[in-house]
Amino acid sequence: MKLRDLILFAIAAIVLSADQASKAWAIENIPLNTAYDIFPPPLGDWIILTRITNSGAAFGLFPQLSIVFTFVALIVSVVIVAYYRSIPTGQWIVRLSLGMQLGGAIGNLIDRLRFGSVTDLLYVRPFPVFNIADAAIVTGVGLLMFRLWRISPKAEPQPVPTDSPDETKSAGNE
């Protein structure tokens, strides 16, 4: 295994560790459905620690599909690991983004398997409550989209003009 292949797992491990540590701290220190101001106003009006559980997708969408999201996280994780080795050298943004997505997917997957729901704890207005795994997934997807957007499409080969007498005559007759 090459050093570039370890980047995926290093980034994923950092995201996973930060996510699980923050959730463990929140579970230990913040009662469920409780909010704590951590900064004085005006910043405190925008950033609040709020512990809730979420059995659905991002932002609490589709809570009845928790088992589906468990399988989606498993499939996405396997696909990322399988695809990662085929990324060309020099694509560090793609490697970083996939590492963030893998770490976030595994972080929320662990919660679903352990608790049946995901612990969310960061409330940054105007967004819904989220966690570090969610932030890593969204940031990773954003980086990947940015990279794909920045790749310039290959120029289509243009036909080489010919100076055949037939084409010259027909062009002049039009």
Give catalytic residues, as residue numbers.
120, 134
3-class state of residue 53 by DSSP: strand
Q: Identify the CA nearest to 120 among candidates 15, 48, 44, 72.
A: 48
3-class state of residue 79 by DSSP: helix
Phi, psi of 169 (to 5 degrees): -65, -45
Please answer whether residues 4 and 89 qualify as being in contact, where contact means their C-beta atoms are separated by less than 8 angstroms. Answer: yes
Beta-carbon neighbour count of residue 136 at 10 Å? 27
* E strands, the chain, in order: 34-37, 47-54, 118-124
Please answer whether residues 108 and 56 qualify as being in contact, where contact means their C-beta atoms are separated by less than 8 angstroms. Answer: no
